[in-house]
Chains A and B, each alone.
Chain A
Amino acid sequence: MRIYLDHNATTPAAPAVVNRMTAVLRDTWGNASSVHHFGQQAKAVLDEARSAVATLIGAAPSEVVFTGGGTEGDNLAIRGAAEARQAAGRTHLITTGLEHEAVLTTMQALARRGFTLTLLPVDARGLVDPDSLAEAITDRTALVSIMHANNEIGTIQPIAALAAIARAHGALFHTDAVQSAGKIPVDVEALGIDLLSISGHKFYGPKGAGALWIRRGVRIAPALTGGRQERGRRAGTENVPALAGLGVAAALARQSLAGTAPRLAALRDRLERGILDGVPGTEVNGATDPRVPNTTNISVDRVEAESLLIALDLEGIAVSSGSACSSGTLEPSHVLKAMGLPHPRTLNSLRFSLGAGNTEAEIDHVIEVLPALVAKLRSLAGVAYR
């Protein structure tokens, strides 16, 4: 038996997604830019998918640009907005230390090319204080990018309050909603933002398919140039089957969200309580509220997360330490570091992220096996062989 508790890394494609993608790949293979019947069929598939994505986030279909995923959406939003606004003398960028590498690294790349960059502080709960944005922002600020829900700890930022500050200063506001879309309601109007990126494979869609929502009237420069696809904002023949899958996943997410979220929250809370009660020296990292319902990040005192992660995998339980993009190397989580957690705690934290397929029996199994694994690893910590 294998238990998958790493849904913030990726999710299995929903059966309806697989069916739709298979059918489109086989039957609707036209180029969506073509004039003829085959092109029209493919275009219709894209239209349907675009509508489903727009509906998921409360937007108009014409505002949705398809991308190759979350990282591409973040790049397009940030590079595109920075380039578009540079001419007007807006050369200041603002983000936070909590962001996904797709945002952080992109911002840093721009900072090496003449933009100034402000990293807003994050409190120990993993939240950004709108007052700090109000202090940092200027009339030269081009773009503020702050993620909606954090991938490692799941905390949800006060995006509406932050975006209002950006708007008051004429700055664009982008949010990386890769970890919130499909998990909690996301409404671009309620958030009051300009740009929002999502990724299909985080909510039971395919990898390599995502979207950037661009508020009507907001101009950004394209990151990929070429043909006129996606209204000139993302050149290249559309990946029609994957985007069809993205559309199905978006529709499913919208339908199931109200029912799934409370169920996942209950399972997550059961897991969290079970670990805190069953394993001494454990603590939850980050604010437990507001937080996406499927995520908990727990530090286990005196155990390296790397070892515990492998020990769990050998027991058939898949979790993560930090974000998948930085695993393979044991860098302390930059998110926990940004929150000011002490060094050991940034190295001994595990992320459990639940999904639609998880059952109470699975959660109880994890709660049952974890204490002995931790005790074993602790007994070996510092064992001297010399």
Chain B
Amino acid sequence: MRIVVAMSGGVDSSVAAALLAEQGHDVIGVSMQLYPSTSSGRDPSTGSGHAHASAGHATSTSAGHAASVASQGFGTCCTIDDLNDARRVATALGIPHYILNFERQFDEQVMSNFVSEYVGGRTPIPCAHCNSDVKFASLLTRARGFEADVLATGHYARVEADGGRYRLRRGLDPGKDQSYFLFSLTQAQLARAAFPVGHLDKDTVRAHAHRLGLAVADKPDSQEICFVPDGDYAAFVERRAGDAARPGAIVDDAGTTLGTHGGVHRFTVGQRKGLGLSAGVPLYVVGIDAARGEVTVGPRAALERVSLTASGVNWISGAAPAGWRPVTAQIRHRHRPAAARVRAGDEGRAELEFDAPQTAITPGQAVVFYDGDEVVGGGWID
């Protein structure tokens, strides 16, 4: 079978390609160029002068971004070095390798959304958009143009055929599972998806890489959003949206002004650090009102919610459940799945009620519904 493998230059997708080639498939390696290649993506003109949003994620109760992207393992694809790594692996495997230019799609589908979400006071997950709107959309179409039946990636997830339908399940390595980032794949996309390392754990993947003599065998997992390699999301947002840095007030839940801030895009719900406040008790961002430019803070207890609504909901089976369905739900990548029930609404919406309150339900992050290790669906937290 002819299979296109999306090769990021990392160990996971390299081993994915290698395993498929070993199985005798007609493997074609492709790497996506996602932004201009003249540098590694770093902009030396930007320092780290901002007390930016990601600083807040270091707390144990932190929500969202830094935590969610920290370990997904395919963050720094597509720098020149990574593309060269992918090419070297392809050469070693004896498979053809092409670099495809997705700069326009990535800009329109992923980076623009990333910026508008932060400006809107939300905390986006660009990797999920990249998967569903670029990899398993544009790239899959390209793969079909090359007469390939399947697009494989190095994600830690599993797709299984079941009587004409496709199930999406967690990767077997609980520390590496990336199914959270794949919740919006449709049946049509899953029908042509393969995740060759999804049934392996990371150590085994690295062992395969060593066995095959791949130069990337010991390459560290990436820790950043690929297009913000310095981790300074706020500076990136400001470069892309010049008017983002609108100062506003930091208030408590009674509306009392406690301080000021340099723009709502610097904050995420659950953030504790970088608020510039001195209060007797630790204060967390509990809400962001982009329209008013207001960041609301409160004690940790104020972060707790028992329900949420979501939009852009995808049901993996293709059909929404009738009535309330019991699930476990994850509100960020590193969230321990919590018992809940979910009900479909109109226009791709859903409401979800947890059995017990959850801390820092963050708008813009995904909520993904599971039944055991199977993905039922998911959506974007309102």
Binding site for B on A (CB under 8 A): 306-307, 310-311, 313-314, 328-330, 376-377, 380-381, 383, 385-386
Contact B140 A314 (CB under 8 A): no
B137→A385 contact, CB < 8 A:
yes
B69 to chain A, nearest CB (A): 23
**Residues on the B chain within 8 Å of A330, using CB:** 33, 100-101, 103
Which residues of the other chain, A, contact B290 by a CB distance below 8 angstroms? none
Complex Cα distance A330/B37, Å? Answer: 11
Determine the residue in chain B with the shortest Cβ distance to A328. B99
The reply to whether B147 and A314 form a contact with Cβ atoms under 8 Å apart is yes
Q: List B residues 112-133 near A (Cβ within 8 Å).
A: 132-133
CA distance A239 to B142 in the complex (A): 44
A310–B33 touching, CB < 8 Å:
no
| 7 sample A-B contacts, Cβ–Cβ < 8 Å, listed by A number | A306-B101, A307-B146, A313-B96, A329-B101, A330-B33, A376-B145, A385-B136
Contact partner of B98 (CB less than 8 A), chosen from A310, A383, A386, is A310
- Render B95-108 as a binary contact track against A, CB cut-off 8 A, 1 for contact: 01011110100000
Complex: chain A residue closest to B104, CB-CB? A330
Within the complex, the shortest CB–CB distance from A227 to chain B, in Å, comes to 35
Q: Are A306 and B100 in contact (CB under 8 A)?
A: yes
Residue-wise interface mask of B (6-41) relative to A, using a CB-CB cutoff of 8 A (1 in contact, 0 not) = 000000000000000000000010000100110000
- The answer for the CA separation of A329 and B132 in the assembled complex, in Å, is 23
For A385, give its contact among B37, B98, B140, B147 (CB under 8 Å): B140
User: B101, A385: Cβ atoms under 8 Å?
Assistant: no
Q: How far is the CB of A384 from chain B (nearest CB, A)?
A: 8
**Closest-CB distance, B79 to chain A (whole angstroms):** 14
Residues of B near A383 (CB, < 8 A) are 141, 144
CB of B71 within 8 Å of the partner chain = no
Q: Enumerate chain B residues within 8 angstroms of A376, measured Cβ to Cβ.
A: 145, 147
Binding site for A on B (CB under 8 A): 28, 33, 36-37, 96, 98-101, 103, 132-133, 136-137, 140-142, 144-147, 186, 188-189
Instruction: Give min CB distance, B313 to chain A, whole Å.
Output: 13
Residue of A nearest to B36 (CB): A329
Given A314-B28, A377-B145, does the pair A386, B132 have CB atoms closer than 8 Å?
yes
Give the interface centre of A328, A377, A381 by most chain B CB atoms within 10 Å: A328
**Interchain CB contact (< 8 A) of A329 among B37, B133, B147, B189:** B37
A310 near B146: Cβ-Cβ < 8 Å: yes
Closest residue on chain A to residue B80 by CB atoms:
A328
Among A306, A310, A311, A313: residue with most chain B CB under 10 A: A310
Q: Which of B33, B36, B145, B189 lies in contact with A311, CB distance below 8 A?
A: B145
Per the bound structure, the CA–CA distance linking A2 and B137 in Å amounts to 31
**Known A307-B146, A330-B100; 8 more pairs at CB < 8 Å:** A307-B142, A310-B145, A311-B146, A314-B96, A314-B146, A329-B37, A383-B141, A386-B137
Tally the A-B contacts, defined by beta carbons under 8 Å: 50
What CA separation (Å) do A378 and B148 show in the bound complex? 16
Q: Considering only CB atoms, which chain B residue lies closest to A310 in the complex? A: B98
Chain B residues whose CB sits within 8 angstroms of the CB of A386 once the complex forms:
132-133, 137, 186
Q: Chain A interface mostly helix, strand, loop or mixed?
A: helix
Q: With a CB–CB cut-off of 8 A, which chain B residues contact A329?
A: 33, 36-37, 99, 101
Min CB distance, B35 to chain A, in Å?
11
Q: Which residues of A are found within 8 Å of B140, using beta-carbon distances?
A: 385
In the complex, what distance in Å separates the CA atom of A381 from the CA atom of B142?
A: 9
B238 to chain A, nearest CB (A): 27
In order of increasing CB-CB distance, the 7 nearest A-B pairs are A330-B101, A377-B145, A307-B145, A380-B141, A310-B98, A385-B189, A385-B188
Chain B residue nearest in CB terms to A327: B99
Closest to B37 in A: A329
Q: How far is the CB of A45 from chain B (nearest CB, A)?
A: 35
| Known A328-B99, A385-B186; contact A380-B144, beta-carbon cutoff 8 A | yes
| Chain A contacts for B28, CB-based, 8 A | 314
Give Cα distance in the complex from A126 to B273, angstroms: 60
Cα distance A311–B143 in the bound complex, in angstroms: 10
- Give the distance to chain A from B135, nearest Cβ to Cβ, in Å: 11
- Return A350 CB to nearest CB of chain B, in Å: 15
Distance of A282 Cα from B103 Cα, bound (Å): 26
Residues on A with C-beta less than 8 A from B145 are 307, 310-311, 376-377, 380
Q: How far is the CA of A12 from the CA of B207 in the complex (A)?
A: 41
Residue of A nearest to B87 (CB): A328
User: Which residues of chain B come closer than 8 Å to A381, judged between CB atoms?
Assistant: 141
Minimum Cβ distance to chain A for residue B315 (Å):
13
Using CB atoms, name the residue of chain A closest to B144: A380
Closest CB of chain A to B332's CB: distance in Å? 23
Closest to A383 in B: B141
In the complex, A225 Cα to B159 Cα: how many Å? 63
- Kindly list chain B residues whose C-beta atoms are within 8 Å of the C-beta of A380: 141, 144-145
- Point out the residues of chain A lying under 8 angstroms from B137, CB to CB: 385-386
Per the bound structure, the CA–CA distance linking A82 and B154 in Å amounts to 53
Complexed CA–CA distance, A313 and B99 (Å): 13
**Complex alpha-carbon distance, A175 and B145, angstroms:** 41
- Measured CB to CB, the closest approach of chain A to B196, in angstroms, equals 21
Measured in the bound complex, the distance between the Cα atoms of B2 and A310 in whole Å is 14
Q: How far is the CB of B183 from chain A (nearest CB, A)?
A: 13
Cα distance A383–B143 in the bound complex, in angstroms? 12
Complex formed: what's the CA distance from A385 to B134 in Å? 11
| Residues on A with beta carbons closer than 8 Å to the beta carbon of B186 | 385-386
Give A334 Cβ to nearest chain B Cβ, in Å. Answer: 15
Nearest CB to that of B83 among chain A residues? Answer: A328
B106 → chain A closest CB, angstroms? 12
Look across to chain A and name the residue whose beta carbon is closest to the beta carbon of B132.
A386
Question: Which residues of chain A come closer than 8 Å to B144, judged between CB atoms?
Answer: 380, 383
Name the A residues within 8 Å of B103 (CB-CB): 330
Q: How far is the CB of A121 from chain B (nearest CB, A)?
A: 27
- What CA separation (Å) do A380 and B28 show in the bound complex? 19
CA A330 to CA B138, docked complex, whole Å: 15
Q: How far is the CA of A380 from the CA of B147 in the complex (A)?
A: 11
Write the nearest CB–CB distance from B88 to chain A, whole angstroms.
15
Closest beta carbon of chain A to B319's beta carbon, Å: 16
Q: Which residues of B contact A313 (CB under 8 A)?
A: 96, 98
